[in-house]
């Protein structure tokens, strides 16, 4: 009985079969971030600063997904407080901490932030609105996490795409302290994706 030959009709190449009669295949494994950046051109980073920390709640960054079709998928977040003064020093205490919240709405103030596309040849831009430098927000919001600042002052927050902002959803990153001056920094990496395909 004759065997079966698998051949690509466009170039005549044949599939290889192992001695165990198994089709030999090759696969390419890419991280989701690399795939979205390389093939969709929709991987971004945004940096948020507040060099005028004051005692109380300081909104270091706020963002809103304006796209009617794409979801903002957060892959990675890094926060850092390089310097504070006039209150409790950075370290193992409850006086200095970050909160991450959904649903607060931008009202006024702050400075506009433009995300950078990490695939420089894509030509895409992120359809989001973002502000840093302590903008005024309205609404009570939903706090979904809190991180206390340790002696390192820098914290990484890998969410692997589990934080998703649909159209018109918002998120803010705020630093709470009893210090009267200082600087806080936040960087986020995110993808814009159509989750329906």
DSSP state of 17: B
pLDDT at 146: 92
Percent of the chain topping pLDDT 70 = 97
CB burial of residue 18 (10 Å; 0-12, 13-18, 19+) = exposed
CA angle 170, 113, 32 (to 5 degrees): 65
pLDDT at 1: 37
Q: What is the pLDDT of residues 64-110, one digit of tens each?
A: 999 999 999 999 999 999 889 999 998 878 899 999 999 999 999 99
List the domain boundaries for the chain.
Answer: 43-193
Closest alpha carbon to 151 in 82, 91, 68, 74: 91
Class of domain 43-193: mainly beta
């Amino acid at each position: 009985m004759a065997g079966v030959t698998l051949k690509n009709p466009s170039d005549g190449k044949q599939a290889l079969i192992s001695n165990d009669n198994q089709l030999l295949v090759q696969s390419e494994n890419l991280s989701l971030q690399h795939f979205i950046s390389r093939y969709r051109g929709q991987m971004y980073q945004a940096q948020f600063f507040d060099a005028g920390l004051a005692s109380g709640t300081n909104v270091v960054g706020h963002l809103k997904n304006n796209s009617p079709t794409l979801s903002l998928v957060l892959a990675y977040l890094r926060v850092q407080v390089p310097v504070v003064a006039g209150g409790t020093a950075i370290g193992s205490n409850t006086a200095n901490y970050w909160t991450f919240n959904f649903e607060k709405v931008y009202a006024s103030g702050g400075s506009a932030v433009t995300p950078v596309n990490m695939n420089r040849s894509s030509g895409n831009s992120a359809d989001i609105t973002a502000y840093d430098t302590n903008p005024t927000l309205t609404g009570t919001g939903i706090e979904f996490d809190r991180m206390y600042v340790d002696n390192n002052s820098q914290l990484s927050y890998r969410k692997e795409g589990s934080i998703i902002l649909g159209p018109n959803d918002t998120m803010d990153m705020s630093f709470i302290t009893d210090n009267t001056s200082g600087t806080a920094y936040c960087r986020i990496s995110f993808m814009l994706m159509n989750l329906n395909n």
